[in-house]
Structure 1
Amino acid sequence: MTIGYVTIGAHDVDAALPFFDAVLGALDWERSQPFPGWAFYGPKGGEPCLGICKPYDGEAPRAGNGIMVALKARDQAQVKAVHAAAIDAGGSDEGGPGYRPAEATSGFYAAYFRDPVGNKFCAFIAE
């Protein structure tokens, strides 16, 4: 079994699109809007796998504690581009590009950020 898609809550989907267009565009992902009030993103020519929507229960969207979506990048340059796009589009920094742990010189290279709602993301490569 594999995960089919993940949804991220937004106060206003249309207002959230510039952030996600910039961040996911840096991963070479594209947006589709299968029905009103929703946007889905996925690799160009591939299956959409990340949805942006208002919460179904009508309550305010909120970030979960310990919940994070990790986005696989192709190289260090793309990790840096995704992180920069997130910050430039109104997100907040949760840990800039670099190896984890910090003293490593190879292995897991990642950057962490939050969207304007507070959802946490990671862009990474595993070398």
Structure 2
Amino acid sequence: MLLKSLRLGSNDLARTRAFYDATFGAFGVEPSATPAEYPIVMYTLPGGTRFVCGPARDGQPATHANGGTIIFEAPSDDAVRAWHAAGLANGGTSEGDPEPKPQARGAFGAYLRDPDGNKLGAYHGLAMG
């Protein structure tokens, strides 16, 4: 089964666009081409998965998942470092510095929270399973 789309909540699309343009840019992903007047920000990730951010459909403030983490595959250790630095420079907060992670059998990784509190990770060399 192929993941076609992943959607996260956002309470400030301009702030979200700046964060994800910068962090995805560290992996070579183009900035969002979604027009600023649209109620979402969308990216096409390598492999074709759509990554979408927008307000909660029920009109309530968007909140992050407790225990949820989205992990991205980075092309190199330097890309993980650049991703983490870009996130911090664009409203994110660190949840784990770029380094080999013992919980991931030494794969090089880092963690951030985006400006809405969604937890993200980036790894190079992560073997699942």
The TM tier, using the shorter chain, reads 0.7 to 0.9
- Residue in structure 2 matched with residue 57 of structure 1 by the alignment: 58
The amino acid that maps onto 1:36 is Y
- Residue in structure 1 matched with residue 114 of structure 2 by the alignment: 115
Pairing of 1:31-110 with structure 2 (within 5 A): 31-33=32-34, 36-43=38-45, 47-101=48-102, 107-110=106-109
The amino acid that maps onto 1:96 is D
Compute the displacement of 1:24 (Å). Answer: 1.0
* Contact residue 68 and residue 122 of structure 1 kept, 8 A: yes
Compute the displacement of 1:56 (Å). Answer: 0.9
The amino acid that maps onto 1:86 is G
- Residue in structure 2 matched with residue 8 of structure 1 by the alignment: 8
Q: Which whole-Å deviations, capped at 9, do the CAs of 1:3-57 have from their partners, x for residues lacking one?
A: 111111111212321111111111111223278211111347x635211111111
* Contact residue 9 and residue 61 of structure 1 kept, 8 A: yes
Q: Distance in 2 between matches of 1:100 and 1:15?
A: 29
Q: Distance in 1 between matches of 2:12 and 2:91?
A: 15
* Contact residue 37 and residue 54 of structure 1 kept, 8 A: yes
Q: In structure 2, the residue corresponding to 1:29 is in which secondary structure?
A: coil
Q: Distance in 1 between matches of 2:38 and 2:82?
A: 30
The amino acid that maps onto 1:93 is S
* Contact residue 45 and residue 51 of structure 2 kept, 8 A: no
Structure 2 unaligned runs (5+)? none
Q: In structure 2, the residue corresponding to 1:65 is in which secondary structure?
A: coil
Structure 1 unaligned runs (5+)? none
* Contact residue 28 and residue 43 of structure 1 kept, 8 A: no
Q: In structure 2, the residue corresponding to 1:18 is in which secondary structure?
A: helix
TM-score, reference length from structure 2? 0.85
- Residue in structure 2 matched with residue 26 of structure 1 by the alignment: 26
The ranges of structure 1 where at least 4 consecutive aligned residues each deviate by more than 3 angstroms after the TM superposition are: none
Count of matched residue positions in the alignment of Structure 1 and Structure 2: 124
Task: Identify the structure with the greater strand proportion.
Answer: 1
Q: Distance in 1 between matches of 2:96 and 2:15?
A: 25
